[in-house]
Structures are given as structure tokens and as C-alpha cells.
């Protein structure tokens, strides 16, 4: 019995480098994409591979990066959050709504001290995340549908708050973090880096992080192991909403205004960053490291296309094709992995 | 008057290796038309590999493959299918949300000239086909609403009537009740008369001996015996399978076994009047410390639901649970775990993380005991290493992905995850299903050892042998109700079957 059971395993280990690389395809492919894109743009445009431009890219992906931290948790659990951009928008608007605006801004807002405005805004996004969480876990609405509704709800609240107007002022802390810089490094880049680092530490070194991976890897097994799966799913939805809210507040300061539909493109960008980076849409595989690579792929792509002489309408199509390629790799990598595990 | 028939399928010198390890070594195998050919062997002996070659799942192998004397090479399962080879896998592959008729005709529904499905014709023909099988169901009812055993029969019926000339059945009887097995055998015999060749793989050697004409035994990738069923015995087959004295391991449980005097130890679990729509009716019992309570019944008797209720995965419609005298209503499996209840479900897929290493699988249920916020991987590995050693999990490498372990070893991991901090009550569903003799004995010894440590253990199984080999006291569950309790009295397989 012993020999017959040990044998296939010895076989697995003896298979060498190629299968190992295949099982790591989820991590390798995005990285190669990044190197390829960087090399291509560096070759195609002299203004691309400069330190200044690296700073540009970092700044450009910061808001997406902050939102993508929370989204990584959600996707690792094999759920989705379509309300990230909506929640970012409403939180950004809320923090402006609670700040004294200049007299020409025609919004019937409620000016409060900066700290209070920030706390209320964070509570707002946490509350919206909690609604997502309850809908998903208690009522049992699939996250795809639940957060689709939340996207609309967040847009609705945003609309009611600004009523088609534009607000400009946000608390000074937010202004600093969103548009200031220290020692030449924009604060928003530092915040994004710290949040990505924090997310990575939580996912890798905490019990909660392990639970996120296990719930994503096999939800049924997590439940049969006596984990409180609903609590974990609820928590990731709230984390996602709070990250989105922070991204929204800093984004408003970064753009210099708070208005309806300001963050619309960030839904696709943040999901793309997570998935392009190689985090499995089926849950349980990937992480913040992947998200960072994904952010750079998107950042380099968006930025690089501006440096080369290319029809600006074609850029949209190219972005779509790159995303499609990443999805193909994502699904393919999952299949290879499952095959290896058989 | 034995006529000489030429084989419909002939394999010569088949060798198949996975990554340098030979799963099959020079196997010859021939299948005659109108023959039921039994296949036995321990897990990993090579029977499934051979069948997957025949069914076109594995296409890379060396050796000759002849159908009706003509050399053939399948490039896919589709090729095998069009050559008239069909296989029923152990796991159900039906569409529970479709009707019975749609399942029977899956993939080739009768259509009219416009390509629209002819529902009435499909229902009528499905009903006729199933009736030939002795299955009397409304073809338009939803398949998922039927008992599992019946679903399995319908799946088998679908394949048997698909017109295939070679049919491979992998463990077809494990989910069937004795009358259902009888119906299956009757149909197989009828198909044999029509010239269909049938391969019958099973752990139930009695079933093989009853229905097959020929038996082939595999061990370690080799064919070690081929004999007429009439000329062999269970003992001889087991001996050939495991290659050592079979007598000791062959406990057929046909003779009476004396159950011990019930212990007076403390009641760990008290279940009172538990009911769940269509599954359980007023089930009441107690489980005591240091005692193994066996719950036996046919597939679909409510065992599965009962185990899920005990672990907080299902909520009963009525009735109460008490652990250590304290009434409990489990809001989640987490609550059940905290109350000291542990469950190992019948399906390892539901219990384990195949893409994660062994140590993470073992530590997942106790992480909150060893770490508050931060993980302690070194300690996790230590704990896992101890369990791996104690349960003799092979290979003893805690960093290996679980999916690379054999089924029996995976089952041990499923047990191991509960044993570092032993629960008060351990509920085991089908703890030895699909395992080879060696692994089975290991698991039985582990459970006996846990009993001496004072755990209350409940073993739920549809295999009488499993219950008989472990239980101190046995409840028989029938259509969701406890119909008989055996305690302090003689019990045998016959008596159990009779009660169920």
C-alpha cells in the first residue's frame, strides 16, 4: 500500500521545471506583459523611459491602486464588487459636501470641521459596504447583482448631494494627501503604497488573510472546517467599500473637484488591475503583489499610448484587447493549475 | 456448448506512465461481446487508468488497442464514444434542474423538422426506456427532486440505452439500495443477452461475483489474475488484490457480532424530535463519551441531512439539540465548531482545499486556537507534522499540495484537521468509502483510538461493513425515521439490511 500511494507523488516532484513554470503562469505572464510593454514604449518613444514619467505613472495609478486593494480581497473570495467606483464617487462628494465651499458654489451643503467631515464620509462608505455585505450574506443576493444595485444607489446619493453642481473644497488633510507632495513624492503615491503594503501584510501574515484565501479556494470546505464564511465575506465587502471611499476622497482632492460620474472609469480600471495582475477570478489565488503588477501594466499602457503617436480612438480598443488577453490567461492559468492538482 | 467468440475489444501489453511512474505495466485485457467483466483491485491498482484508456480519456500509452480485431487509436473521449464505448463515472453527472426525460435524452433530444424539441415524444420514449429498467417515474418531473439512488439508476439507464456496445460502470452500486441493485443487475443481464459487453468495477466483491462472468484482478499496475466468477471466491479475490493472506482482512460480517453493554458514561449529544421536511421525522437519540454510535441506512435515508444539522450547516424544521446538556441552535458551522462538534462529510472535495498544502488543510480548523491576529506558520507545520506522523499520512510532507495525495491519505487529512484539539463530538460520514483495504484499516484504528480518548463519535454510513466494524451501538434510519436500535445484542449484515 505504501509504495503504491507514495509513487504518484514522487512522480509529481520529479516533473521538473516546466510544470513548475506552468503552475506559476498566473504570476509570470503579467510580469512578462509588463516588461514587454515597458520595453516597447521605451523603444517607441524617447520621453517614456524617464524618471519624470515614472513619477507620472505612479501618480496616475494611485487612485486605482487604493481602490484595487479592497477589490483584491473581494476577488480572492471569488466575489465581485461593481460598486467600487460608485462608492468612491459618493464618498468624495460627501467629504466635499461636509466642507465649507466658496460662495459661488451653489450647493445646500452642511459645513463641518474637517476631521468630522472625514469621519462621516468614511462611515458613509463603510455603511454602504455593510449594506453590500448584508445583501450578499444574510439575504443571499449574488454579489454581482447586489453591488450593481449599490452602484446605482451610490450614484443616486451622489446626485442628490451635488444636484448637478461641482464642489471644489475638501478638508485640508484630504487636500494635502490628494494633491500635495513631500520631498518631491506625491502624498497620494505614498498613501497608495502604504495601503497596498497594508493589504499585502493582512493577506499574507494574518489569520483573516488566510481565511480569505481559504474561503476563495473552496467555500464549501471552509464552511465544513467551521469557518464563519458569511462573516469573512461580509468583512471583505466592507473593506472594499472603505478602500473605495478613501480612493474617492483623495481622488476628489487630486482632480480638484467633486462631481457626478467623476470616477466612472475607475470601475473597469480597478477590476482590470486585479485581474490583469493574475488574481484568479475563481478565488483563492493571487494577491496584492499581482495587483501591483496589474496596476503597472495598466499604468504603463495608458501612459505609454499617450507617448506614441497613435489614434486616440484606437487606444480604447487596444485597452480592451489587452484586458481580453489577460482574462484568457487568467482562465487558462486556472485550468493548468487544476490539471496539476489532479 | 461453448462457442468461440472473438473479442470486441482487445488490449495487448498496455503500459502507461505518469511522469516516470508506471501506472500500468504490460496489461493484456480482452472483452467479449455479451460478457459482464468484473474488475477489482485496491485504489491505485490501475483499474481506473485502464478504463480511462478504453474510454479515450488517456490517449498517450504504449501497447496495442484493437476493436473488433482492428487496431484503433482514440484521440479523445468523443472518438471512443462514436466507437460505441460509454462510461458511467462514480460521481453523478446529471443535470438536476432538468427533467428526467431531458436527462435521458441529454445531447440528442428528438426534434421535428424545424429543430424544435418534441416534448411529448421525448417524455414517452424516456418513460418507456426507464420502464424497461423497472424505473417508474414521471419523465417530466425534475431530476433533482428524486432520491440520489434513483438519479444514479437513471444515469446508468441513459448510458445503457444509448446504444453503446461497450459499457463501463465504475462503482455503480455504491449509492443503490439492495432492490435497486437487483434492478440494475436484471438490466445488465438483459443487455448481456443482447450482446453488449459490460465492464463492472466495484469494491463490493459480492456484487462482482453475483453479476459478472469473468473477474480480473489488478495489483500495482499489473493484471494478477483473470478467472471465471463461478470458479473463485471473495477470499481468493481479496488475496489476489492485496497479495497477502486475505482471510484476516476479509471480515464479511455475515455472522453475528455481539454489541457491548452500553456504557454509563456522560451524554455528550442529545437529539430530540428532530424533523426536516422530506428528510427526517422525529429523530431522537443520544451519543455518549467514549462510544461509537453507528447510524446505518440506505442512500437517501436522511443520514446526510442529519449530519449537516448536527454541524450547523442545515437548520431543522423542528426539534432540539443539546451538547453537554446545554441546548444549542447552531447559527453557523463556526458555532457548532465552537460548541465542540466536528464533521467529516462523505465527500472529500467538500472538506479539503486541494490547491493548498497539507499543513494549511490541517491547521484551518484550529487557527483561532494558535494565533490571535498573526499567523504562526512554524507552529502550524509542527502541528501538522505531528498529525501526519500519528495518522501515517503518506508521503509525510506537510508542504505538499493536498491534491497530490491519494484518496485514502486525503481522508486521513480530513480527520487530522479535527484531532489537534479533539472535539467533544466527532461526526463521520462514510469514513471509509472508496478506500482500499489498508487505508480502511488505518482509519478504523484511528477511530477506535479516538473512542478510547473519550470522544463521542457518530459514524453514518450506507455500507453495513463500515458501521459494523466501528459501532458500539447502531441506529437504523429508514426514510428519515429511526426504525431500529441495536444495543447489547447480536447484530450482522443480514440483520441490518433486514431492518433498513
Residue of B41, B91, B224, B334 to mutate for A, most A C-beta atoms under 10 A: B334
B87-123 tens-digit pLDDT: 887 767 778 888 888 888 877 778 888 888 888 888 8
Residue B2 pLDDT greater than 60, yes or no: no
DSSP H or E run through B288: strand B280-288
Contacts B18 to A, Cβ<8 Å: 8, 11
Minimum-distance CB partner of A210 among B21, B349, B375: B375
Q: What is the pLDDT of residues B264-275, one digit of tens each?
A: 788 999 999 999
Q: Is B340 at the interface with chain A, CB within 8 A?
A: no
**Interface contact B408-A5, CB threshold 8 A:** yes
Tell me what pLDDT residue B383 has: 93
The answer to whether the CB atoms of A221 and B350 lie below 8 A apart is yes
Summary mean pLDDT of chain A = 88
Q: Round to whole Å and give the CA distance between B371 and A106.
A: 54
Report residue B214's pLDDT band, with 50, 70 and 90 as the boundaries. very high
- E strands present in A115-212: 181-182, 185-186
pLDDT band with cut points at 50, 70 and 90 for residue B246: very low
What is the 8-class DSSP label of residue B202?
A: -
Identify which of A6, A222, A284 has the shortest CB distance to residue B395: A6
Residues of B in contact with A226 (CB under 8 A): 311, 333-334, 336-338, 342, 365
By the CB < 8 Å criterion, does B331 face chain A?
Answer: no
Whether A107 has its CB under 8 Å from any CB of chain B: the answer is no
Least confident of A253-262, A296-305, B92-101, B187-196: B92-101
Confidence check: pLDDT of A13 > 50:
no
For residue A220, the chain B residues in CB contact (below 8 A) are 349-350
All residues of chain A having their beta carbon less than 8 Å from the beta carbon of residue B397 are 9
Determine contact, residues B301/B147, Cβ cutoff 8 Å: no
Closest chain A residue by Cα to residue B355: A341
CB distance from B364 to chain A under 8 Å?
yes
Q: Does A288 touch chain B (CB under 8 A)?
A: no
Query: Assign residue B267 a region: left if phi > 0, alpha if psi is -120 to 50, beta otherwise?
Result: beta
Q: In the 8-state DSSP scheme, what is residue B357?
A: B
| pLDDT value at residue A150 | 97
CB contact under 8 A, B360 and A284: no
Which pLDDT tens digit goes with each residue over A115-146?
999 999 999 999 999 999 999 999 999 999 99
Of all residues in chain B, the one with the smallest CA distance to A284 is: B355
* Grid coordinates given for B370: 494558535
Q: Does A319 touch chain B (CB under 8 A)?
A: no
At B252 the pLDDT is 57
Q: Is B106 exposed, middle or buried (0-12, 13-18, 19+ CB in 10 A)?
A: middle
- What does each C-alpha distance from A122 to A66, A84, A148, A238 come to in angstroms? 14, 14, 21, 11
Q: What is the pLDDT of residue A75?
A: 97
pLDDT grade for A6, boundaries at 50, 70 and 90:
very low
Residues of B in contact with A207 (CB under 8 A): 367-368, 371-375
Length of chain B: 500
Is A115 in the B-facing interface, judged by CB distances under 8 Å? no
Instruction: Kindly determine whether residue B354 and residue A5, on different chains, have CB atoms separated by under 8 Å.
Output: no
**Angstrom distance (rounded) from CA A156 to CA A130:** 17
Could you say which residues from 215 to 274 on chain A have a Cβ atom under 8 Å away from some Cβ of chain B?
Answer: 217-218, 220-231
CA distance A83 to chain B (A): 28
Nearest by CB to A226, which of B23, B334, B438?
B334
Cβ-based neighbours of B161, under 8 Å, separated by 6 or more:
B104, B129, B132, B133
Among the partner residues A223, A225, A228, nearest to B417 by beta-carbon distance? A225
d(CA B470, CA B459): 8
Q: What's the pLDDT score for residue A147? A: 97
pLDDT at res. A2: 36
Q: What angle do CA A109, A110, A111 make, to 5 degrees?
A: 110
Residues of B in contact with A227 (CB under 8 A): 333-334, 364
Nearest residue, CB atoms, B374 vs list A205, A211, A223: A205
Pick the residue from chain B with its C-alpha nearest to A7. Answer: B21
Tens of pLDDT along B453-462? 989 999 999 8
Q: Return all residues near A103 (Cβ < 8 A) that are at least 6 apart.
A: none
Q: What is the mean pLDDT of residues B437-456?
A: 87
Upper half-sphere CA count for residue A79 (Cβ side, 13 Å): 36
Q: Report the pLDDT value the prediction gives residue B199, as an integer from 0 to 100.
A: 94
Q: Show Cβ contacts of residue B473 under 8 Å, excluding neighbours closer than 6 positions.
A: B259, B262, B291, B292, B293, B294, B485, B486, B487
pLDDT at B4: 62
How many Cβ pairs within 8 Å bridge chains A and B? Answer: 125
The answer, for A200 touching chain B at a CB cutoff of 8 Å, is no
Contact A289, A50 (CB under 8 A): no
Do the Cβ atoms of B19 and A11 come within 8 Å? yes
Q: How confident is the model at residue B77 (pLDDT cuts 50, 70, 90)?
A: confident
pLDDT tens digits for B318-338?
999 999 989 988 889 999 999
Burial of A226 (C-beta count, 10 Å sphere; 0-12/13-18/19+):
buried
Largest Cα–Cα distance of chain A, in whole Å?
84
Residue B395, preceding bond cis, omega within 30 degrees?
Answer: yes
Q: Taking CB atoms and an 8 Å cutoff, what residues of chain B touch A10?
A: 21, 395
Residue B244 banded pLDDT, cuts 50, 70, 90: low
| Percent of chain B with pLDDT strictly greater than 90 | 31
Per-residue pLDDT, averaged over B232-246, amounts to 73
The three-class DSSP label of residue B5 is coil
- The arithmetic mean of pLDDT across residues B30-54, rounded, is 86
Most confident stretch, A66-80, B135-149, B379-393, B429-443: A66-80
Q: Which of A11, A207, A341 sits opposite B375 (nearest CB)?
A: A207
Mean pLDDT across B427-433: 88
Helices (H), B373-436: 377-390, 407-419
- Tell me the nearest-neighbour CA distance from B344 into chain A, angstroms: 8
Quick one: pLDDT at residue B245? Answer: 45
- Nearest CB to B334; choose among A9, A10, A227: A227
**Residue A82 φ/ψ, nearest 5 degrees:** -90, 0
Whether B178 has a pLDDT exceeding 90, the answer reads no
Q: Do B337 and A226 touch (CB under 8 A)?
A: yes
Cell of residue B76, nine digits: 479523445
Residue A191 is predicted with a pLDDT of: 96
How many other C-beta atoms can be found within 10 angstroms of the C-beta atom of residue B15?
14
Cell numbers 489498508 correspond to B438
pLDDT for the residue numbered B155: 85
φ, ψ at A242 (rounded to 5°): -70, -40
pLDDT for the residue numbered A339: 64
Q: Which residue has 462611515 as its cell numbers? A: A123
Report the SS3 class of residue A4.
helix
Q: Contact, A82 vs A267, CB < 8 A?
A: yes
Q: What is the pLDDT of residues B278-313, one digit of tens each?
A: 788 899 999 999 999 999 987 667 888 999 999 999
Q: Give the pLDDT band (50/70/90) at residue B341.
A: very high
Contacts of A284 in chain B (CB under 8 A): 353, 355
Residue B257's CB is within 10 A of a number of other CB atoms, namely 17
Look at residues A102, A92, A107, A126 and name the one whose alpha carbon lies nearest to residue A255: A92
pLDDT band at A1 (very low <50, low <70, confident <90, very high): very low
* Beta strands, E only, chain A: 181-182, 185-186
Query: Is there a contact between B404 and A4 if contact means CB atoms under 8 Å apart?
Result: no
Radius of gyration of chain A (CA): 21
pLDDT at site B254: 63
pLDDT digit string, tens, across residues A194-241: 999 999 999 999 999 999 999 999 999 999 999 999 999 999 999 999
The percentage of residues in chain A with a pLDDT greater than 90, rounded to a whole number, is 60
Q: List the single range of A68-72, A242-246, B266-270 with lowest mean pLDDT.
A: B266-270
Contacts with B418 from chain A: Cβ below 8 Å = none
**Measured between CA atoms, how close is A206 to chain B, in angstroms?**
4
What distance in Å separates residue A224's CA from the closest CA in chain B? 6
> Which is nearest to B489 in space by CA: B257, B287, B253?
B257
| Pairing label, strands B70-71, B62-67 | antiparallel
Minimum mean pLDDT among A253-257, B310-314, B434-438, B462-466: which range?
B434-438
Q: Which residue has the higher pLDDT, B260 or B39?
A: B39
Interface of B with A in 61-100 (CB under 8 A): none
Residue A11 has pLDDT above 60, yes or no: no
pLDDT band with cut points at 50, 70 and 90 for residue B247: very low
Q: Which cell numbers in the block locate residue A210?
A: 488566510
Question: What is the distance in angstroms between the Cα of B57 and the nearest Cα belonging to chain A?
Answer: 14
* Cα nearest neighbour of B351 on chain A: A221
Q: How far is B170 from chain A (nearest CA, A)?
A: 18
pLDDT of A12 above 50: no
Closest-CA distance, A10 to chain B, in angstroms, reads 8
Pairing of strands B291-296, B456-461: parallel
Compute the radius of gyration of chain B from its Cα atoms: 24
Residue of A nearest to B402 (CA): A341
Nearest CA in chain A to B440: A1
Cα torsion B16, B18, B24, B26 to 10°: value is 40
Chain segment A330-341, per-residue pLDDT in tens = 777 767 766 655
pTM summary value: 0.77
In chain B, what residues touch A333 (CB-CB under 8 Å)?
A: none
Gap between the Cα atoms of B89 and A53, Å rounded: 58
**Which residues in chain B have their CB less than 8 angstroms from residue A337's CB?**
355
Beta bridge partners of B460: B295, B429
Task: Tell whether the model's pLDDT for residue B195 goes beyond 80.
Answer: yes
Residues 6+ positions from B124 with CB-CB distance below 8 Å = B139
In this model, does residue B444 exceed pLDDT 50? yes
> How distant is the Cα of A19 from the closest Cα of chain B, in angstroms?
11
Q: Which of B21, B343, B405 sits opposite A10 (nearest CB)?
A: B21
Q: Which of A4, A198, A223 to mutate to test the interface with B (most CBs of B within 10 A)?
A: A4
Report whether B249 contacts B437 (CB < 8 A).
Answer: yes
The partner residues of B345 in beta bridges, in order of sequence, read none
Cα separation of B158 and B179, whole Å? 19
Tell me if A226 and B333 make a contact (CB, 8 A cut-off): yes
Q: What is the DSSP string of A30-88?
A: HHHHHHHHHHHHHHH-TTTSSHHHHHHHHHHHHHHHHHHHHHHHHHHTT---TTHHHHH
Amino acid at each position: 500500500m505504501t509504495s503504491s500511494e507514495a509513487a504518484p507523488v514522487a512522480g509529481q516532484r520529479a516533473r521538473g521545471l516546466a510544470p513548475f513554470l506552468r503552475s506559476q503562469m498566473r504570476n509570470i505572464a503579467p510580469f512578462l506583459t509588463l516588461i514587454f510593454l515597458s520595453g516597447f514604449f521605451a523603444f517607441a518613444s524617447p520621453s517614456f523611459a524617464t524618471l519624470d514619467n515614472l513619477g507620472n505613472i505612479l501618480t496616475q495609478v494611485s487612485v486605482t491602486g487604493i481602490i484595487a486593494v479592497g477589490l483584491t480581497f473581494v476577488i480572492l473570495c471569488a466575489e465581485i464588487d461593481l460598486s467600487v467606483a460608485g462608492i468612491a464617487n459618493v464618498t468624495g462628494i460627501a467629504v466635499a459636501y461636509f466642507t465649507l465651499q466658496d460662495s459661488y458654489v451653489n450647493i445646500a451643503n452642511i459645513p463641518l470641521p474637517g476631521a468630522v467631515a472625514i469621519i462621516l464620509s468614511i462611515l458613509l462608505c463603510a455603511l454602504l459596504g455593510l449594506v453590500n455585505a448584508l445583501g450578499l450574506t444574510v439575504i443571499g443576493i449574488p454579489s454581482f447583482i447586489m453591488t450593481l444595485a449599490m452602484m446605482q444607489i451610490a450614484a443616486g446619493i451622489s446626485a442628490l448631494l451635488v444636484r448637478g453642481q461641482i464642489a471644489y473644497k475638501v478638508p485640508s488633510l484630504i487636500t494635502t494627501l490628494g494633491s500635495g507632495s513631500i520631498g518631491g513624492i506625491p502624498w497620494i503615491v505614498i498613501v497608495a503604497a502604504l495601503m497596498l503594503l497594508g493589504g499585502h501584510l493582512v493577506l499574507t501574515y494574518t489569520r483573516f488573510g488566510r481565511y480569505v484565501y481559504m474561503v476563495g479556494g473552496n467555500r464549501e470546505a471552509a464552511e465544513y472546517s467551521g469557518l464563519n464564511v458569511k462573516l469573512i465575506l461580509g468583512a471583505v465587502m466592507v473593506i472594499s467599500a472603505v478602500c473605495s471611499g478613501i480612493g474617492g476622497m483623495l481622488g476628489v482632492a487630486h482632480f480638484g473637484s467633486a462631481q457626478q460620474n467623476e470616477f466612472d472609469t475607475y470601475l473597469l480600471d480597478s477590476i482590470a488591475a486585479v485581474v490583469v495582475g493574475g488574481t484568479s477570478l475563481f478565488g483563492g489565488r493571487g494577491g496584492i503583489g499581482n495587483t501591483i503588477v496589474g496596476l503597472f501594466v495598466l499604468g504603463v499602457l495608458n501612459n505609454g499610448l499617450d507617448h506614441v503617436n497613435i489614434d486616440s480612438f484606437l487606444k480604447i480598443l487596444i485597452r480592451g484587447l489587452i484586458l481580453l488577453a489577460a482574462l484568457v490567461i487568467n482562465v487558462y492559468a486556472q485550468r493548468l493549475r487544476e490539471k496539476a492538482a489532479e | 456448448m461453448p462457442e468461440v467468440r472473438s473479442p470486441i475489444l482487445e488490449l495487448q501489453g498496455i503500459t502507461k506512465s505518469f511522469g516516470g511512474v508506471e501506472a500500468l505495466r504490460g496489461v493484456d485485457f480482452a472483452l467479449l461481446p455479451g460478457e459482464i467483466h468484473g474488475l477489482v483491485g485496491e485504489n491505485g491498482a490501475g483499474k481506473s487508468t485502464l478504463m480511462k484508456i478504453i474510454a479515450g480519456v488517456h490517449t498517450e500509452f504504449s501497447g496495442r488497442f484493437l476493436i473488433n480485431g482492428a487496431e484503433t487509436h482514440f484521440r479523445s473521449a468523443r472518438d471512443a464514444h462514436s466507437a460505441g464505448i460509454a462510461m458511467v463515472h462514480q460521481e453523478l453527472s446529471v443535470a438536476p434542474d432538468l427533467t428526467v426525460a431531458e436527462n435521458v435524452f441529454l445531447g440528442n433530444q428528438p426534434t421535428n423538422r424545424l429543430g424544435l424539441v418534441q416534448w411529448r415524444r421525448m417524455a414517452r420514449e424516456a418513460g418507456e426506456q426507464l420502464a424497461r429498467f423497472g424505473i417508474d417515474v414521471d419523465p417530466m418531473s425534475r431530476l433533482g427532486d428524486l432520491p440520489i439512488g434513483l438519479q444514479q439508476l437513471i444515469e446508468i439507464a441513459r448510458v445503457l440505452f444509448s446504444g453503446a456496445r461497450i459499457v463501463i460502470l465504475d462503482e455503480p452500486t455504491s449509492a443503490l439500495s439492495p432492490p435497486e441493485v437487483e434492478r440494475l443487475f436484471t438490466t445488465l443481464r438483459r443487455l448481456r443477452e443482447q450482446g453488449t459487453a459490460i465492464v463492472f468495477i466495484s469494491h463490493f466483491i459480492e456484487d462482482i461475483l453475483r453479476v459478472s462472468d469473468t473477474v480480473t484482478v489488478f495489483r500495482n499496475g499489473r493484471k494478477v489474475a483473470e478467472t471465471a466468477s463461478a470458479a473463485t471466491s471473495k477470499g481468493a479475490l481479496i488475496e489476489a488484490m492485496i497479495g497477502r493472506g486475505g482471510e484476516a482482512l476479509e471480515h464479511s460480517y455475515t455472522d453475528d457480532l455481539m454489541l457491548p453493554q452500553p456504557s454509563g458514561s456522560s451524554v455528550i449529544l442529545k437529539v430530540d424530535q428532530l424533523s426536516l421536511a422530506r428528510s427526517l421525522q422525529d429523530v431522537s437519540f443520544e451519543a455518549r463519551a467514549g462510544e461509537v454510535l453507528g447510524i446505518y441506512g440506505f442512500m437517501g435515508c436522511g443520514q446526510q441531512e442529519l449530519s449537516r444539522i448536527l454541524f450547523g450547516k442545515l437548520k431543522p424544521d423542528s426539534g432540539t439539540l443539546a451538547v453537554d446538556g446545554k441546548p444549542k441552535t447552531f447559527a453557523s458551522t463556526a458555532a457548532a465548531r465552537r460548541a465542540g462538534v466536528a464533521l467529516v462529510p462523505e465527500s472529500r472535495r467538500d472538506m479539503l482545499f486541494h490547491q493548498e498544502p497539507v499543513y494549511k488543510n490541517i491547521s484551518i480548523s484550529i487557527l483561532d486556537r494558535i494565533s490571535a491576529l498573526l499567523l504562526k506558520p512554524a507552529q502550524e507545520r509542527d502541528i501538522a507534522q505531528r498529525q501526519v506522523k500519528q495518522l501515517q499520512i503518506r508521503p509525510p510532507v506537510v508542504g505538499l499540495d493536498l491534491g497530490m495525495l491519494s484518496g485514502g491519505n486525503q481522508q486521513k487529512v480530513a480527520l487530522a484537521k479535527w484531532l489537534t484539539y479533539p472535539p467533544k463530538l466527532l461526526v463521520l460520514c462514510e469514513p471509509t468509502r472508496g478506500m482500499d483495504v489498508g487505508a480502511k484499516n488505518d482509519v478504523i484504528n484511528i477511530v477506535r483510538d479516538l473512542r478510547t480518548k473519550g470522544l463521542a463519535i457518530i459514524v453514518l454510513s450506507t455500507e453495513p461493513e463500515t458501521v459494523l466494524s466501528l459501532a458500539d451501538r447502531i441506529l437504523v434510519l429508514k426514510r428519515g425515521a429511526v426504525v431500529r436500535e441495536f444495543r447489547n445484542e447480536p447484530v450482522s449484515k443480514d440483520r441490518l439490511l433486514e431492518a433498513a
